Amino acid sequence: MRIISWNVNGIRACAKKGFLDFLQRSKADVVCLQEVRAFEHQLDESLRSPQGWYTNFAPAQRPGYSGVGIYSRTKPDRVISVLGDEQYDVEGRFIVAQYGRTSVASVYFPKGSGKDRDNSRVPYKLGFYQKVFECVEKLRKRGPVFVTGDYNTAHTEIDLARPKTNKKASGFLPEERDEMSRWLAAGWVDTFRKQHPDEEGHYTWWRQFGGAREDNVGWRIDYILASKSAAPKIENAFIWPHETGSDHCPIGVDVNL
C-alpha cells in the first residue's frame, strides 16, 4: 500500500500543472491532499471523480481557503470529516478515511502567524494540534493509523535550511516544536526521519521567490506520522522534491499491511 500526502496549494491550480498525470504515475493507493482551496462542486468531473479513484473532501466554509481531501483506489469503509469543535471544523482541516482497521488522516495544521505576520495564531494552532491528537489517539486503539499532512512545523534544526534566522518565526517556535516532540513521546513515529535519521537537506516546502527551491533553501513541514502498530509495517518513506505542481512537494510511505 502506497500512501502519498501533498499540499497542492489549490487543487485547480495544481491540475493545470499536471496533478492528474501525477495521480496516475504515483502508483499510490491513497493520496491525501491539503490546501485544496475549492468546494467540490467547483471541481471539474476529472478532478472530482477521476476514473479508478474514490474521492472525499472536507472544505472550509470560507471560499478559496484551506480544505483537505483523500483520493483512494478502494472505497473507504468510513469517512470522518469533523473534529467536533466548530472553531476548527469551519476551516476544513481534517479528514480521515478508514479501510478495514487502518485509518489514514489528511490534516492541514494551521500556521501560527497572523495577518500582520505576528504569532497571534499560535494558540489556535496548538489547540488544533491537541484536538487532532485526541482524535487520532482514539483511532489507534482500533488499528494502524497514519496521520499525513502539512504540519506547518519544522521539528528540529535539520528540518530547515536556516534554523538560526527563524527561531522567532512561526513554524520553528519552541512551543510548536515541543508539540511535535510530545506526539513522538506518545509513541507516534516520524516515518521519514526514522529511515533517514541524520540526513540534512530534505525539505518539503520552499518560498516562491528568491530562487529558494532552486537553491534548496526550504523547510520540512510535511510529515506522515505512524502509530506504534503502523510503524513496523513501513518499508519505505520518501520525499519527491522533483514534483513541482505546488510550493510543497509530495511525500509518502510504502506500507506492507
**Residues labelled catalytic:** 150
Q: Which long-range contacts (CB under 8 A, 24 or more apart) does 173-176 make?
A: 173/112, 173/119, 173/122, 175/122, 175/126, 176/112, 176/122, 176/125, 176/126
35: which residues sit within 8 A by CB, 6+ positions away? Answer: 7, 8, 9, 10, 66, 67, 108, 150
**Contact present, 80 and 95 (Cβ < 8 Å):** yes
- Beta strand 78-80 pairing with 68-72: unpaired
**CA 238 – CA 130 distance, rounded (Å):** 27
For 171, list phi and psi in degrees, rounded to 5.
110, -20
The number of beta carbons lying within 10 Å of the beta carbon of residue 256 is: 9
| Rounded CA separation 32/94 (Å) | 11
What is the separation of C-alpha 48 from the centre of its chain, rounded to a whole number of angstroms? 20
Determine the Cα–Cα distance for residues 197 and 217; give it in Å rounded to an integer: 20
Nearest residue to 33 via CA among 63, 61, 3: 3
